[in-house]
Each structure stands twice: as structure tokens, then as C-alpha cells.
Amino acid sequence: MEIKVKDSEERIRIDKYLGAYLDDSRSLIAKMIDSEYILVNDEPTKSNYVVRTGDEITIIDGFVEPETIEPEDIPINIIYEDKDLIVVDKESGMVVHPGSGNFSGTLVNALMYHTKDLSDINGEVRPGIVHRIDKDTSGLMIVAKNNKTHEMLADALSRHEIKRDYIALIKGEFMHDTATIDAPIGRDKNDRKKMTVTADNSKAAVTHLRVLERYKGYTLVKLSLETGRTHQIRVHMNYIGYPIFNDPVYTNDNCTEFGQFLHSATLEFVHPTTKENLHFESELPAYFKDFIDTLEKK
């Protein structure tokens, strides 16, 4: 279902606005928003978002109301923690937050067991989550333990002040040493679960690439995000004809359960409270490294 906001309907919170269109309570609409079953201009939103003339609201079918999100004793690799934030090294295969039928076994369930101090800006299903990485993407991400820290980190992200570098194995032998992909990303109209490079209802997306090593049939690259769109690296690499190896969504290959060979390897930012410059690095997962060792260098 898609709704376009008219001039006479603007300046209303989206949860209240949708109450006039849906037979659902505002609390249920808020849960749908939290679980990203309601999008504004093809992007996730918040319940307090005030709609504007021309906004295109998409309501995705298949929402299942989440059960109570429970803490779970799941091992996670915390590499830094203080009173304000946590830096986690997430393993491939772990969903970051509940939603789309995954209400247990997520990073959020594990974090709730680890600490009672998590920001609640993003609602009950995403406590502490400032930014996320895909289920099958491994590596570093930041978690906020209070709302003030969350707001400051989110602001730093929006100003591109948090440096995030990824390591990926792409299919094909990329000939240039460096490249910048500057191509807007929006939701794929033919498959709402996928993103694509498009001029329609899209947002600017910039990815910087540097070759680390060339192999026969593959290239190992470092990718730096200037923006942080959903599936940005995966979409951009596919767009230029060098998709991430083993990506089950953006390639037609038979992929292993490990998923895309994409790893959040470096994270650097200024601590919002102490103003200390923090720098973290994460090694490639063993499965990733072991596969590279089988490749023939160029």
C-alpha cells in the first residue's frame, strides 16, 4: 500500500496521520515503523516524524507484531565499553535487531542481557542501535547506552564524522587502483526488499574504493562510506559490475550460508563525551580469510 501526502494533510505525526488510513492502533503503527514495515520516501522513519507534502509512504505487507523482546544470554564480542557506549564486533549471520519475524537471537537480545543501559530513541525493538550492518556482514558497530550519546553519535554520522572502512571480496578483476561511486540509491520497485541505483525517490550515496589485492577472478578491496544508505556497498558494487562475492541478494550465484564477503574492518570517531579520538580494527572472519588463501594472486 502506498500513500502520497497532500498539501492539506502535512504537519501531522506519521503515526497519527496513518491512523486515519489504517484500522490499526497508533501503538501497532509505531511497532510497524520500528520494524521498518512503514517507509517514507523509501527510507525507514520514526513515529514522531512529521509528514510533508509530497511524501510517499509505503506500507509493506506481512508485518507480524513482535513479541516482548527478551534479554538472551548470547555470546557477543564487545571490544570496548564505557558508561556511554559499546563497540561490538558482530559475527556474520547475526541479525542486529528484532523484526520481520526475527524476535530472538539478535544482537539486541544479547545486548539487553549484557546491560540494562541502552538508549531508547529508536523504539523498543532497536534499543541502543545507532547504525546497523546487514545480517551477513560482519565487523564493527557502535551501540549507545543513553539517549544523549545516541543523539550525538547520530548527528556525527549525519555529518560524516564517523569513519567506517569495510573490506570486501568482489567478483572480477577491478582494473583501477581507486574509484569513487557516486550514484543515488532507492528501493527497488520490483522487489521491495532490495535497493537499487535509481533517480526515483532516492538519496545521494557515495562509496570510495581502493584495491588491496588482485586475484584471478576476484579483487580484494577497501571501501569507505561517505553516506550510509541501506545495502549501499552491495548495491554500488553490483551497479558497477563487480558484485560482492557470495552475496545471496545481489548476485544470481549459488551462495553459501556465510553470505556476502563484506566486513566492517575499521571504525574511528570522536567520543561524544570525553572528546577522545577512538580507533578500532577488526580482523577478517576465519571463513573469509581461509577462502582468500585458496585464491591465485595476479
Where in the sequence numbering do the catalytic residues fall? 134
Q: Which of 253, 257, 219 is nearest to 237 (CA)?
A: 219
Supply 124's cell numbers. 523498543
Judged by DSSP in three states, 16 sits in: helix
Residues ≥6 apart with Cβ < 8 Å to 103:
66, 67, 69
The DSSP code sequence of 219-270 is EEEEEEESS--TTHHHHHHHHTT-PBTT-TTTS-S---TT---EEEEEEEEE
Supply 250's cell numbers. 545481489
Judged by DSSP in three states, 195 sits in: strand
Question: Helix-strand-coil percent breakdown of the chain, rounded to 5?
Answer: 20, 30, 50
Supply 84's cell numbers. 556511554
Cβ-count burial of 116 within 10 angstroms (0-12 exposed, 13-18 middle, 19+ buried)? exposed
Cβ-count burial of 134 within 10 angstroms (0-12 exposed, 13-18 middle, 19+ buried)? buried
Q: What DSSP character marks residue 138?
A: E
Q: Which of 164, 112, 169, 158 is nearest to 282 (CA)?
A: 164
Residue 240 backbone dihedrals phi, psi, to 5 degrees: -90, 5
